[in-house]
């Protein structure tokens, strides 16, 4: 297994991590500049060929102290460069340093180059030549403090260069940034569902072409002739050709039809350049490029994505001249693209406000040196409000903030925040519930996530009001509460997620609500977890199980641990952290098993002893080997009738059989921890004569959930000796 560092545009690390995991990468760790991972050479080749957002793929070679130029020279010579450079191969060195005494990058690169050349000249009596443009081997060295990391740049040059753009053609956006925008806006799902794509200011055509490459399952690196590994001594040419052939076959198998991807611009030269680029990229048959002003734009299909990168007004005096353009774009979006998704990349939020649309999400990125934001919109009939959009805070009405009801709610929330905040800091709890329908007329559950260092977020759930309460009163109370949240919580509205929580009768508890796939990292009990505030009814970590998970960690040392209905694997991570000999996580959802894998890897548990099983847990129980596990955590949904599930599950009706089937998997002396969030649950002890049962519910209710002592029930269960 090799270690790799992959760079990407700022703000795209989570997308890159998902791409890498899909290619088979292990131990993926998000960093601000990209992702680190481990895997065989094939994964690195696949990344070079298939990653749409990566910039560089670096194969880590060595790490050594390099506090001085002499130490850097010596550290470079610790590597056997004959394994990497063939006789006659050319060489280039990229050097960077942070908090190092070696501050001059050219001097540092020269020192590394001299060490490599001297070693190979002594060994072969011939020195390699330098080629700074397209060398056979590009060496990357980065010093942080006094530590140097040596790597090979397998990409050779930035992967945003797909190989189809004409020489000397300037583009306002790199191709991997364009792909980042498309992935953020959900274009793969929209395309698969038959939606169309429109860019009304397409310039040289980067966005429509990248949209076409995604829609046709075309590997973005398929047309590139140069890679940094082609001239590398360790290059596996048969493997690379096999992967290229696989990519060609996938492209040939695509059946994406013409007439669904459109680009337009009113600049004739831009239109000509874009049309030429579609030919070079091999997508001219499915990408339509027209010359027309924004005002002439028409919706080509009922559903789709509009994505646009308008001018930002970087020069003095330009902003005022661009206001009418943004206003016209917003009017076209509102009046003609009802039912569409949209994304606008702007470096000037003042201009963005001219659209007269409320962005449901914002993503901070960089287009070259310019800090920009991707504003994302759901264009609906009520396009001027956010209230109907799932997942986002409804618009704040400042006038409501002064109402008596809003003041009472704000005072209670402040009181809770003060008391629970002190407790959370003392206990080092960074994710906790701060309000839970304390005032019945303001029936919300408010959870805070994050410690403020990496960002703090609020997840607000409004309990659905009974039908006896008038809808007008519900809306009024909601508006009062919402008006106070940003100020009292001290959060930007974009860091507050909001949804109404209803009883989901007849549905699996993990039903998908959206397709954002944006994750945030939080810490609990010294462990790291990924949460998602957009896509599902729950975020990925049940906060009321905090003490239960801690108990599992205490019990897990040396044990074989089974996690049934594993969800995102938080219990498995705790068990692994407690020293479990192995963990097995069973869940029906591939999405949640992938999430489990990422949570395990995030905490340094990538090994084969951590098994993930995609199966209907009820069906799996019937065939699982008896006496196979020392510690089992069973936390089933209250009710489920998923399409992939045999029959239905009702935890009250079915718990006796469920516990009996699960208990037989325990080794002699083994322990089953059973938990349920069904508030009216009644354990039928008399129907379980072969089991010893201890109710530990009260001991597992965290302080922040004491206001709702029935939030869950929890039991320790053993077989009668």
Measured CA to CA, the distance from residue 136 to residue 71 in angstroms comes to 26
The arithmetic mean of pLDDT across residues 179-183, rounded, is: 96
Question: Is 326 a residue whose pLDDT tops 70?
Answer: yes
DSSP state, residue 85:
B
Question: Is 386 a residue whose pLDDT tops 50?
Answer: no
Question: Is 452 a residue whose pLDDT tops 60?
Answer: no
Q: Per residue in 541-596, pLDDT tens?
A: 999 999 999 999 999 999 999 999 999 999 999 999 999 999 999 998 888 999 99
Range of the domain at 197: 175-218+256-378
Q: Are 394 and 482 in contact (CB under 8 A)?
A: yes
Q: Per residue in 628-672, pLDDT tens?
A: 899 999 999 988 765 444 567 889 999 999 999 999 999 999 999
pLDDT of residue 316: 54
Which pairs with CB-CB distance under 8 Å and at least 24 residues apart come from 411-414? 412/438, 412/439, 413/446, 413/484, 413/485, 413/488, 413/489, 414/488
19 and 50, same domain (yes or no):
yes
Q: Which two tokens stand for residue 596?
A: 């489990």
DSSP state, residue 285:
T
**Which candidate, 177, 494, 197, places its Cα nearest to that of 345?**
177
Q: Which of 262-266, 623-627, 648-652 has the highest mean pLDDT?
A: 262-266
At residue 536 the predicted structure's pLDDT band, cuts being 50, 70 and 90, is confident
**Which candidate, 8, 7, 41, places its Cα nearest to that of 23?**
41
Question: Is 508 a residue whose pLDDT tops 60?
Answer: no
At residue 167 the predicted structure's pLDDT band, cuts being 50, 70 and 90, is low
Question: Is 80 a residue whose pLDDT tops 80?
Answer: yes
561 and 697, same domain (yes or no):
yes
The arithmetic mean of pLDDT across residues 362-376, rounded, is: 90
- The packing angle between helices 590-602 and 570-577, to 10°, is 30
Give the residue with greater pLDDT, 388 vs 334. 334
Q: Are 101 and 70 in contact (CB under 8 A)?
A: no
Tell me whether residue 514 is in a domain.
Answer: no
Tell me whether residue 274 is in a domain.
Answer: yes
CATH number of the domain where residue 147 is located? 3.30.2130.30
DSSP 161-189: --S-SPTT---SS-HHHHHHHHHHTTHHH
405 and 355, same domain (yes or no):
no
Tell me whether residue 632 is in a domain.
Answer: yes
Tell me whether residue 160 is in a domain.
Answer: no
Tally of structural domains, the chain: 4
597 and 675, same domain (yes or no):
yes
Q: Which two tokens stand for residue 40?
A: 């065989």
475's CB contacts (< 8 A; 6+ apart) are none
Length of the chain counted residue by residue: 721
Tell me whether residue 513 is in a domain.
Answer: no
CATH number of the domain where residue 460 is located? 3.30.750.80
Question: Is 454 a residue whose pLDDT tops 90?
Answer: no
370 and 414, same domain (yes or no):
no
Q: Are 509 and 437 in contact (CB under 8 A)?
A: no
Question: Is 151 a residue whose pLDDT tops 80?
Answer: yes
Give the residue with greater pLDDT, 475 vs 578. 578
pLDDT of residue 28: 85
Question: Is 402 a residue whose pLDDT tops 70?
Answer: yes
Q: Per residue in 265-314, pLDDT tens?
A: 999 999 999 999 999 999 999 999 999 999 999 999 999 999 999 998 76
Tell me whether residue 308 is in a domain.
Answer: yes
Measured CA to CA, the distance from residue 641 to residue 250 in angstroms comes to 35
Q: Which two tokens stand for residue 400?
A: 């409501």
pLDDT of residue 182: 97
Tell me whether residue 339 is in a domain.
Answer: yes
**Which candidate, 404, 563, 389, places its Cα nearest to that of 480?**
404
Neighbours of 651 (CB within 10 A): 18
Q: Are 218 and 286 in contact (CB under 8 A)?
A: no
Measured CA to CA, the distance from residue 681 to residue 691 in angstroms comes to 18
Vertex 163 angle, CA 158 and 164, to 5°: 135
480 and 539, same domain (yes or no):
no
141 and 60, same domain (yes or no):
yes
pLDDT of residue 412: 95
Measured CA to CA, the distance from residue 569 to residue 583 in angstroms comes to 10
pLDDT of residue 389: 42
Give the residue with greater pLDDT, 386 vs 49. 49
- The packing angle between helices 206-215 and 175-184, to 10°, is 60
**Which candidate, 174, 172, 171, 199, places its Cα nearest to that of 185?**
199
Burial status of residue 163 (CB atoms within 10 A of its CB: 0-12, 13-18, 19 or more): middle
The arithmetic mean of pLDDT across residues 390-401, rounded, is: 74
Residue 681 phi/psi, 5-degree rounding, is -65, 140
- Rounded CA Rg of the chain: 28
**Which candidate, 524, 618, 626, places its Cα nearest to that of 568?**
524
**Which candidate, 487, 481, 472, 475, places its Cα nearest to that of 404?**
481
50 and 83, same domain (yes or no):
yes
Residue 100 phi/psi, 5-degree rounding, is -120, 155
Q: Are 213 and 281 in contact (CB under 8 A)?
A: yes
179 and 142, same domain (yes or no):
no
427 and 354, same domain (yes or no):
no
How do beta strands 196-199 and 261-265 pair? parallel
The arithmetic mean of pLDDT across residues 347-355, rounded, is: 88
Q: Are 405 and 349 in contact (CB under 8 A)?
A: no
Measured CA to CA, the distance from residue 477 to residue 473 in angstroms comes to 6
572 and 677, same domain (yes or no):
yes
Instruction: Name the residue with tokens 């519900």.
Output: 474
Tell me whether residue 556 is in a domain.
Answer: yes
Query: How many percent of the chain have pLDDT more than 70?
Result: 93
CATH number of the domain where residue 345 is located? 3.40.50.150
Measured CA to CA, the distance from residue 421 to residue 428 in angstroms comes to 10
Q: Are 21 and 28 in contact (CB under 8 A)?
A: yes
Q: Are 411 and 393 in contact (CB under 8 A)?
A: no
The H or E element spanning position 685 is none
pLDDT of residue 629: 95
pLDDT of residue 250: 95
700 and 555, same domain (yes or no):
yes
407's CB contacts (< 8 A; 6+ apart) are none
């Amino acid at each position: 297994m090799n270690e790799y560092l992959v760079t990407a545009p700022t703000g795209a690390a989570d997308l890159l991590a998902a791409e890498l995991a899909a290619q088979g990468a292990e131990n993926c760790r998000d960093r601000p500049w990209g992702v680190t991972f481990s895997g065989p050479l094939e994964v690195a080749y696949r990344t070079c060929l298939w990653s749409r957002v990566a910039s560089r793929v670096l194969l880590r070679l060595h790490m050594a102290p390099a506090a001085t130029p002499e130490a850097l020279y010596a550290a470079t010579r610790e590597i056997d460069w004959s394994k990497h450079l063939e006789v006659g191969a050319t060489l280039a060195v990229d050097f960077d340093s942070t908090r190092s005494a070696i501050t001059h990058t050219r001097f540092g690169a020269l020192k590394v180059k001299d060490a490599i050349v001297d070693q190979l000249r002594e060994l072969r009596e011939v020195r390699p030549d330098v080629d700074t443009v397209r060398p056979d081997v590009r060496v990357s060295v980065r010093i942080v403090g006094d530590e140097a990391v040596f790597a090979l740049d397998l990409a050779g040059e930035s992967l945003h260069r797909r190989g189809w753009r004409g020489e000397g053609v300037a583009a306002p956006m790199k191709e991997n940034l364009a792909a980042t925008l498309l992935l953020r806006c959900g274009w793969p799902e929209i395309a698969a569902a038959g939606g169309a794509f429109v860019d009304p200011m397409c310039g040289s055509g980067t966005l429509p072409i990248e949209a076409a490459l995604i829609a046709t399952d075309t590997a973005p690196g398929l047309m590139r002739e140069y890679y940094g590994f082609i001239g590398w001594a360790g290059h596996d040419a048969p493997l690379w050709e096999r992967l290229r052939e696989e990519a060609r076959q996938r492209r040939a198998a695509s059946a994406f039809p013409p007439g669904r991807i459109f680009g337009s611009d009113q600049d004739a030269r831009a239109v000509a350049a874009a049309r030429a680029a579609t030919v070079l990229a091999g997508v001219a048959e499915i990408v339509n490029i027209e010359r027309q002003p924004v005002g002439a734009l028409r919706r080509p299909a009922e559903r789709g994505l509009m994505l646009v990168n308008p001018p930002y007004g970087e020069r003095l005096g330009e902003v005022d001249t661009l206001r009418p353009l943004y206003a016209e774009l917003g009017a076209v979006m509102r009046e003609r693209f009802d039912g569409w998704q949209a994304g606008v990349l702007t470096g000037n939020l003042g201009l963005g406000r001219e659209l007269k649309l409320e962005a449901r999400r914002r993503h901070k990125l960089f287009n070259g040196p310019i800090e920009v934001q991707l504003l994302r919109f759901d264009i609906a009939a009520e396009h001027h409000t956010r209230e109907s959009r799932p997942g986002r805070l409804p618009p704040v009405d400042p006038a409501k903030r002064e109402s008596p009801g809003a003041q009472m709610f704000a005072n209670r929330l402040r009181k809770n925040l003060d008391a629970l905040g002190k407790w959370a800091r003392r206990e080092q709890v960074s994710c906790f519930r701060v309000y839970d329908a304390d005032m019945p007329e303001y029936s919300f559950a408010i959870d805070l996530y994050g410690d403020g260092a990496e960002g703090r977020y609020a997840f607000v759930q409004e309990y659905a009001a009974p039908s006896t309460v008038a809808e007008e009163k519900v809306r009024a109370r909601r508006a009062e509460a919402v008006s106070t949240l940003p100020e009292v919580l001290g959060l930007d509205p974009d860091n507050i997620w909001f949804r109404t929580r209803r009883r989901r009768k007849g549905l699996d508890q993990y039903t998908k609500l959206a397709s954002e796939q944006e994750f945030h990292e939080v810490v609990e009990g010294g462990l790291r977890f990924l949460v998602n505030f957009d896509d599902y009814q729950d975020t990925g970590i049940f906060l009321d199980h905090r003490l239960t998970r801690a108990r599992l960690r205490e019990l897990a040392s040396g044990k074989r641990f089974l996690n049934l209905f594993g969800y995102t694997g938080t219990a498995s991570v705790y068990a692994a952290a407690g020293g479990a000999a192995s963990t097995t996580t069973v869940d029906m959802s591939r999405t949640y098993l992938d999430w489990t894998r990422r949570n395990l890897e995030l905490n340094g548990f990538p090994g084969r002893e951590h098994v993930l099983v995609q199966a209907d847990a009820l069906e799996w129980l019937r065939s699982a080997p008896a006496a196979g596990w020392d510690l089992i955590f069973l936390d089933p949904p209250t009710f489920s009738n998923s399409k992939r599930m045999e029959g239905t599950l009702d935890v009250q009706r079915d718990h006796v059989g469920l516990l009996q089937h699960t208990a037989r998997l325990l080794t002699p002396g083994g322990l089953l921890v059973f938990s349920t969030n069904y508030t009216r649950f009644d354990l039928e002890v008399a129907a379980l004569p072969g089991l010893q049962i201890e109710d530990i519910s009260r001991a597992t209710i965290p302080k922040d959930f004491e206001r709702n002592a029935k939030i869950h029930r929890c039991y320790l269960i053993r077989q009668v000796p």
